[in-house]
A and B are shown apart, each in its own frame.
Chain A
């Protein structure tokens, strides 16, 4: 497979958020603002790239029967490293993402890519796949964060864009808003897909 195809596959054709609908917990949990969403997306991307690389390098060493526990240990190691890096260099982002950073371990997206792609392909392809899927995930979280932040607090990337005269719909930065926004965005994607087919 050529690299561009793998990238496009991750970002558009099999977009983790809108098409595969996996990794839902952080998707809904941290997207109350665009910065949080993109930060979470990039943290996940970093873990995904390194986990894919190492799973791919170790794919001939790991016995088939215990592969899932091995994958989980590899993933958990990189999550711990990312957590320390965020704590040291970006304490504010770490504070707002909170619990969801250690929970990257159980993000089904990462385990799914390790199992479905990295354990069957060479290291270069695995890294490219990690970049593609990670960017697709970041894109999904970014869009969700932008929409929720704009409707909920009238800002984009913490800069006020909606004049004061428009009321803010606080509901959208709270829990129910996450479900509604993702539901409506997904319906939009489906609508476009159905139209393309017809």
Chain B
């Protein structure tokens, strides 16, 4: 039951993009077309679940026994960067079709702060291994939902006649603001 709540909270209530401002760069950067946004969303779901799992293991099995919890930040970022490299090489060899679809998005994910954010948040909340993976998956699913919806809206506003000063980023930010208001409706739905 608790696990279902963690997933729902990640997708709707504490949506990483629209409520916590994590992963804004890819959210604004690769959301011009629904197709690429979907690719990015799927890649993030994949990497973030894995990263949450590995970071949780590294913290519990290496950092805590050695008493060097304070190095968590350096450890997590190295783990995530090498994990992304590894996933990229593995997909290239084992699943070329999937690599074709997700390949270009993978390097970008290292600098997606939602991935590091989920690792740090899981550690701060004190989630165990399973809860960490679930929370990583839920958070990433929330990211995917937000970026796909956002791309759908941007495709429609692209050719609208807007004031010149609002072209590009400003209009995208205001669109995101309106979406964020919609997601505010979910707040208070779940108390974690």
Contact = CB atoms under 8 A, between A and B. Distances in A.
B89 to A, nearest CB: 15
Interface residues of B, number: 44
Interface stretch (A7-15, A153-161, A185-193): A185-193
Interface string A154-176: 00000000000000000100111
Interface string B15-54: 0001111111100100000000000000000000000000
Interface stretch (A56-64, A79-87, A121-129, A134-142): A79-87
Nearest to A171: B181
A76 B73 contact: yes
Contacts of B184: 174-176
Secondary structure call for the A interface: helix
SS class, residues of chain B in contact with chain A: helix
Given A103-B116, A106-B116, A184 B170 contact: yes
B74 A73 contact: yes
Contacts, number: 118
B118 to A, nearest CB: 10
A25 B25 contact: yes
A180 B120 contact: no
A176 B17 CA distance: 11
Interface stretch (B2-10, B57-65, B95-103, B171-179): B171-179
A72 B77 contact: yes
B70 A84 contact: yes
A105 B64 CA distance: 22
Interface residues of A, number: 42
Contact of A29 (B21, B70, B173): B21
B21 to A, nearest CB: 4
B20 A183 contact: no
A93 interface: no
A79 B76 CA distance: 13
Interface in B140-192: 163-167, 169-174, 176-178, 180-181, 183-184
A69 B74 CA distance: 11
A99 interface: yes
A176 B179 CA distance: 8
A115 to B, nearest CB: 11
A183 B174 contact: yes
B116 A25 contact: no
Contacts of A171: 181
15 contacts: A76-B78, A99-B20, A99-B121, A103-B116, A106-B110, A175-B20, A175-B21, A175-B184, A176-B177, A176-B180, A177-B177, A178-B177, A183-B169, A183-B174, A186-B170
